[in-house]
Structure 1
Amino acid sequence: MSDMLSQNLLSPVVLFFVLGILAALFKSDLKFPSGLSEGLSIYLLIAIGIKGGIELSHYSLASVFKPMIGALFLGTVIPLLTLFILRFMKMDLKNAIGLAATYGSISIVTYGAAISFLEKEGTAYEGFMNALVVLMESPAILVSLLFLKLIENNTGESSLFSKKVGIIPSSIGLFDKEVLRESVFGKSVLLLVGSLVIGLALGESAVPMVKPLFIDLYSSVLILFLLNMGLTAGARLPEVKKHGVKLLLFGLLTPLLFGSLGVLVGSAVGLSIGGAALMGVLAGSASYIAAPAALKTSVPDANPSIYLGLSLGVTFPFNLMAGIPLYYEIAKWV
């Protein structure tokens, strides 16, 4: 186990991420142009989506049905578990919703790093796992925002301790079009779903065109992206510390809880060791692209330094350095 952790810590993707954190902490003038940062994000979304679509074209619906149900289950249950935990931490409603959406959704880059880890270990995984990334991206955002509307409409207050939290609404018209648009048609989900559908429709015929850019260069581009993420995470670390030890513990312990749950669900739906480990990675990661985009417009009172600071500054590096090999070991044990 210690050898696996040290190997993961000494991988190029982790070391460049650490380099970015150090650059931010020591106030280096290193920074990525906004256009390049955006371009790297778009590249990773397309690469993961199209590879997932091509791989999914090799499987029948019957063979992926159970894993799809497992992914949707996790995307629905994890935000509710997050809210339950934050209820006892006395977190205010808006910031609790922000964390529920963030931790219920997934980190595409963490998933990409996990794929690199499994390939380095020589562990196979189901090719349709990339498709499950898409399924777990939006449900948590929708569930969290629905829960917010439930509480506000039925209690008229923003207290997470209201006794009326569990009331079921009499109307389903709780979402406005902007919320749905941000959650379902935001750039992350749109690129993932669109690339997945294109890859699924074209199958192996797409490989000659997409392989040189989106497959062969994937690991190298991931290094650049993680260097940029290290700069962002390092800049947000002081913001997380301002909110106390409880939030830091939340950012470190909930990935273990949700990641373990993801591994168990993955095993229950028949995934291999590699597939169950990836399911754990998805469940234990936190979004910093899709969820913040939706929260910015639908929950403007939620503090970005909390949900972005925790996801980028605490949970993301934890998963990158220790979480991925831990989920892998849990999958082997299960």
Structure 2
Amino acid sequence: MDSFITIVTTLTVQLQKPTLAFLLGGMMLAALGSRFEIPQPVYKFIVILLLLKVGLSGGLAMRDADLVSLAAPALAAVLAGIGIVLIGAATLARWRGVARVDGLATAGLFGAVSASTLAAGMAVLDAEGVAYEGFIGALYPFMDIAALVTAIILGRISLARASATTAGGGTTLALGNGTAGIDTGVIREILADTFRSPAISALILGLALGLFADTKALYEGFYELLFRGLLSILMLIMGMEAWSRLSELRKVAHAYVVYAVTAPLVHGLFGFVLGLAAHHLTGFSAGGVVLLSVMAASSSDISGPPTLRAALPEANPSAYVGASTGLGTPVAILSIPLWIALAETVIGL
């Protein structure tokens, strides 16, 4: 009974948080036939500002980190982000009836990191008196960008192949002004185009500026102050779009429920194994291993949605945001004691 009350309470808290509340608000506006609209240029400007902020925060965190000690955990974070997307590509994205691009976008969001879940994990460890490295926050962009870029690349390759099949193109596909082989030239073009895309370019530029330029005052005085408000507007837009595409999910909603409930546990375990490897190689702390597991179990509610919306507009936001924020986040938060118990058993806290 206590567990049930805890789950209900956690879900209620998530519904009250701005990310999900504004998403649901947008869905309500669309359901009521409202003519509310955000002009497309304004939407694009908001997305760029949000992604620059996320990149800057990661770069600033890396500046304060011990880069030698950071190397192994950072590699583990990158592998976790990529691996989680590949797990989703082999499971949810192959589920009968699930659009592959929707499954890959969802996997990308689950591979990226929730700052609120990471903060919750840190708070729990602080309360337990468990030490962890001060550079943990700097691992955020490594896992985040690795997962999102992997999901976007796989999603665009999938769309390219689907387009070639529909057009009867067999093994070729026109891209830009030329034609490329589906397994070589097209993939190279997609890789280059992904890194040139506004979303990924803004993330990487923000990361570089935060790391190498004196941007802390600008970040704190402009980007951080505007961030939550701009994110709420973005979630309204995504909520309205999600409602218009909700009918696409009715036949496969169970697939997303199963994935959202089980994925945080599988991903957290994957992150724990990678963190354990870093522990044995470099002495990465037990608390750090727990937080890497928490990051892997979490799903993005900040950087992920705008990045995917900009880079994979074909993907259905009601699939990836609903599965992530609606179900994945509560499960990830509730699993934090599991990673602590596992670290205590395997490593010793």
TM-score w.r.t. the length of structure 2 is: 0.70
Give 1:201's match in structure 2, choosing from 212, 227, 235: 212
Q: By how many angstroms is 1:118 displaced?
A: 5.6
Tell me the equivalent position of 1:180.
191
Does structure 2 retain, via aligned residues, the 8 Å contact 1:100–1:140? no
Corresponding residue to 2:295 among 240, 256, 278: 278
Q: Is the 8 A contact 2:77 2:139 kept in 1?
A: no
Larger-gyration structure (1/2): 2
Deviations 1:221-265 (A, max 9, x none): 222221222111112112333xx2xx3222222233333233223
Structure 1 CA distance for aligned equivalents of residues 261 and 303 of structure 2: 12
Task: Report the alpha carbon displacement of residue 174 of structure 1 after superposing the two structures with TM.
Answer: 5.1
| Mapping for residues 304-323 of structure 1, pairs under 5 Å | 304=314, 308-309=315-316, 312-323=317-328
Task: Extract unaligned runs of 5+ from structure 1.
Answer: 159-171, 297-303
Deviates more, 1:139-148 or 1:189-198: 139-148
Equivalent residue number for residue 261 of structure 1: 266
Which segment is superposed worse, 214-223 or 35-44? 214-223
How large is the Cα RMSD of the aligned pairs?
3.8
Q: 1:122 to 1:217 in 2, by over 3 A?
A: farther
| Alpha-carbon distance in 2 for matches of 1:121, 1:79 | 22
Please name the residue that 2:138 is paired with. Answer: 128
1:174-226 Cα offsets, whole Å, 9 max, x none, are 54543122222211111111110110113xx4211221211123222222221
Conservation of the 8 A alpha-carbon contact between 2:77 and 2:292? no
Q: Which residue of 1 aligns with 2:76?
A: 70
Structure 2 unaligned spans of 5+:
1-5, 127-133, 172-182, 276-287, 340-349
Does 1:213 pair with 2:222?
yes
Indicate conservation of the 8 Å contact 1:20/1:227, yes or no.
Answer: yes
User: For residues 87-126 of structure 1, what are the alpha-carbon distances to aligned partners after superposition, in whole Å with 9 as ceiling and x for unaligned?
Assistant: 874569xx53x24542342379x85xx4246658973892
Q: Cα distance 1:121–1:218, how it changes in 2: closer, same or farther (>3 A)?
A: farther
Mean Cα deviation higher: 181-190 or 71-80: 71-80
State whether residues 104 and 140 of structure 1, in contact with CA within 8 Å, keep that contact through their aligned partners in structure 2. yes
**Pairing partner for 1:325 from 317, 330, 348:** 330
> 1:318–1:127: structure 2 CA closer, same or farther, 3 Å change rule?
same
Task: Write out aligned runs for 1:285-300 (5 A).
Answer: none
Query: CA 1:23/1:129 → structure 2, altered by over 3 Å: closer, same or farther?
Result: farther
Larger mean Cα displacement after TM superposition, 189-198 or 266-275: 266-275
Task: Pick the aligned partner of 1:249 from 254, 266, 275.
Answer: 254
1:80 and 1:87 mapped to 2: Cα distance? 10
Pair 295,42 (structure 1): closer, same or farther in 2 beyond 3 Å: closer
| CA-CA distance at 1:282 after TM superposition | 3.8
Distance in 2 between residues matched to 1:290 and 1:224, nearest whole Å: 15
Contact 1:102 1:286 (C-alpha < 8 Å) held by counterparts: no
Q: Spell out, residue by residue over 1:289-332, the C-alpha distance to the aligned partner (whole angstroms, 9 max, x if none).
A: 65676668xxxxxxx3xxx22xx113312322332122022123
- Give the aligned partner of residue 115 of structure 2: 115
Partner of 1:301: none
1:48 aligned onto 2:34: no
- Decide whether aligned partners of structure 1 residues 147 and 208 sit closer, same or farther in structure 2, where only a CA change above 3 A counts: closer
Residue 12 of structure 2 corresponds to: 6
Check 1:175–1:75 CA distance in 2 against 1; reply closer, same or farther (3 A cut).
farther
Q: Compare 81-90 and 35-44 and name the one that shifted more.
A: 81-90
The answer on whether the counterparts of 1:9 and 1:15 sit within 8 Å (CA) in structure 2 is yes
CA contact (8 A) 1:138 1:189 kept: yes
C-alpha separation between the residues in 2 aligned to 1:177 and 1:88? 24
State how far apart, in whole Å, the 1-side matches of 2:300 and 2:217 are: 33
Specify the SS of the correspondent of 1:59: coil
Identity of aligned residues (%): 18
Query: Relative to structure 2, which stretch is displaced further, 217-226 or 46-55?
Result: 217-226
Q: CA deviation at 1:41?
A: 1.0
Q: Secondary structure at the match of 2:269?
A: helix
Is 1:235 aligned with 2:240? no
Question: 1:285, 1:315 within 8 Å by CA — same for their partners in 2?
Answer: no
Residues 55 and 128 of structure 1 are in contact (CA less than 8 Å); yes or no, is this contact kept in structure 2?
yes
Alpha carbons 1:76, 1:143 under 8 Å: kept: no
Task: Give 1:136 shift.
Answer: 1.9
Contact 2:299 2:328 in 1 (8 A): no
